[in-house]
Homo-oligomer: A and B are copies of this chain.
Amino acid sequence: MTGRLFGLGVGPGDPELITLKADRILRACPVVAYPAPDTGPSFARTIAEAYLTPDKTEYPIVVPMRIERFPARDIYDAAARDLSRTLENGQDVAVLCEGDPFFYGSFMYLYERLAGRFHCEIVPGVSSVMAGAAALGRPLAARNDVLTVIPGPLPDTQISERLAASDAIAIIKIGRHFARIKALLECEGLIDNAGYLERISLAQERILPLEAAVGSAPYFSMILIYKGAENWVASLPVDGSPVAADITEPAQ
């Protein structure tokens, strides 16, 4: 009997936003893997820290966080090799994924290497996009609204096209693209419809009108835009500029 591989969504940050299913599986798995930067703590591990009892074997998948791209292929090849040995030995492996495993998650790199050979199960999680709307206190999409999720690294022209075709928009993976995207939204006349959010659902959560956000933004930040609601952001508190970036972005 080989072990099973679980991709567990652990939600946007608040450890209480883990599902009962992920909770049950995480308790039962003897081996727990998670993405980790080369310096500093793993965000996924931090979310699930309470579960990481001393009897668990931890397996950090270290992916350097940096601006320059570099081939992460070797890292996932090595991780898949190590974890397939564990699975062949009959041990179940839980892989912790921030948010949802299949929503812009790095879990897919392991999944594509292991899913054909082992029993794999994905446990969906609460996405930061839904948690962002909850934190804002503003419905993300209603009735027949079109909702689009746009990665911030895309070029301006592509972002503009998608902005035009949607009612509600989440721009994710902001990080070092913050100033460019803010300028673009100003240009498109959408700055009064845009809220800036960082560290959603954590104690350090910060939410403010995009207009009031200055400086740089961490990788785990987001801009939510509601086109139909002119100047709704006036209701948000203006509490200063975002903290300095501490993560740029994971290599791909």
Contacts and interface: CB of A to CB of B under 8 A. Distances in A.
Given A17-B19, A133-B124, A154 B165 contact: no
A213 interface: no
B102 A139 contact: yes
B161 A151 contact: no
B149 A141 contact: yes
A90 to B, nearest CB: 22
12 contacts: A11-B19, A16-B21, A20-B20, A100-B133, A103-B133, A122-B135, A122-B137, A124-B126, A124-B201, A126-B126, A145-B151, A146-B162
Given A17-B21, A123-B134, A165-B165, 4 more contacts: A17-B124, A19-B20, A101-B134, A122-B133
Interface of A: 7, 9, 11-12, 14-21, 23-24, 100-105, 108, 111, 115, 120, 122-127, 130-131, 133-135, 137-151, 153-154, 158, 161-162, 165-166, 201, 252
